[in-house]
Amino acid sequence: MTKPVEPKTVTPSVPDRLLAEATRLFAERGFERTSVQELVEAAGVTKGAMYHYFTSKDDLLYAVYERVLTMQMARLAEIAGNGGSVADRLHEAAADVVMTTVENLDDTLIFFRSLHMLSPGRQSEVRKERRRYHELFRSLIEEGVREGAFQDGVPADIVVNQYFGAVHHLGMWYRAEGELSGAQVGAYYADLLLASLRTP
C-alpha cells in the first residue's frame, strides 16, 4: 500500500531484488560465505546501487530479520485476538507459526543461524522483539492455565521455549519436496503441544 505502483510490475525494485537474493544466498551458503559481489551479481545490480539502498551487508541481513519479525508478530497478534476457546486459539497460533515458518524457510534458517553476525545493537533489538512475541504466546498458555484448561506442572516459559525451539529447527530438516505439507506439520506440532498441556 505504501509503495507507488511500479511502471514495470514484472521487475521488482532494486531493494526488493537485493533482499530476495540475499535471503536465498544467506540461507544457501551462509552470511559469511556470501560476498557482496556475488549478491549484487545475483540481483543484477551494481555494488554502488546496493550501497545506495543499504548501508552495509549487515544492514541487508537485518532487513531479513525485520521482515520475519514483523510478519510473525502480526499473525500471532491477529490470532490471539480472535474469539474461540483458549485451546483453539493456541492451537491455531501454534499451527500457524509452523506454516509461516516453512513458507519462509530461508528466512527462518537465517534467523537462528546468523543472529550472531548482526551488530550487538541489532542483536538486542531482535531479541527484544522476539521476547515480545514469546510473551504474547506465553500469555495464551497462562490464560489456559488460569482457566483450568491446561495443566500447570511445567512453567509456561519452559513450554514456550521448548515449542519455539522445535519450530526454529524446522529449517534444519523440513523440506518442501518431502511428503508433509507445512499445514500437516503445523497440525501435528500443535496437537503435540496441546496434548502436552492437557490436564491429566
The reply to whether 5 sits near its own copies by the rule CB under 8 A is no
* Alpha-carbon radius of gyration of the chain: 19
| Residue numbers 158-177 binding its own copies by CB under 8 A | 158-159, 161-170, 172-173
Cell numbers that stand for 153 in this block: 506442572
Closest approach of Cβ 70 to DNA, in Å? 22
Choose among its own copies, DNA, none what residue 24 binds, the Cβ cut-off being 5 to 8 Å by kind. Answer: none
Measured from the Cβ of residue 80, the count of other Cβ atoms closer than 10 Å reads: 17
Q: Say which amino acid occupies 59.
A: D
| Nearer residue to its own copies within complex by CB, 88 or 191 | 191
Q: Which of 21, 3, 4 is nearest to 61 (CA)?
A: 21
Residue 132, Cβ neighbours under 10 Å: how many? 14
* CB distance 28 to 49 below 8 Å: no
Write the CB contacts of 78 (distance below 8 Å, at least 6 apart in sequence).
Answer: none
Which member of 11, 88, 112, 135 binds its own copies (CB under 8 A)?
112
Residue from 14, 63, 80, 105 in contact with DNA (CB under 7 A): 14
Measured distance CA(14)–CA(36) in Å, rounded: 15
Residue 137 in the binding site for its own copies (CB under 8 A): no
Is there binding between residue 47 and DNA (CB under 7 A)?
Answer: yes
Q: Within positions 48 to 107, which residues make up the interface with DNA, using CB under 7 A?
A: 48-49, 51-53, 55-58
**According to CB under 8 A, which one of 52, 153, 181, 183 is a site residue for its own copies?**
153
Q: Which of 17, 20, 30, 67 binds its own copies (CB under 8 A)?
A: 30
**Residue 34 in the binding site for DNA (CB under 7 A):** yes
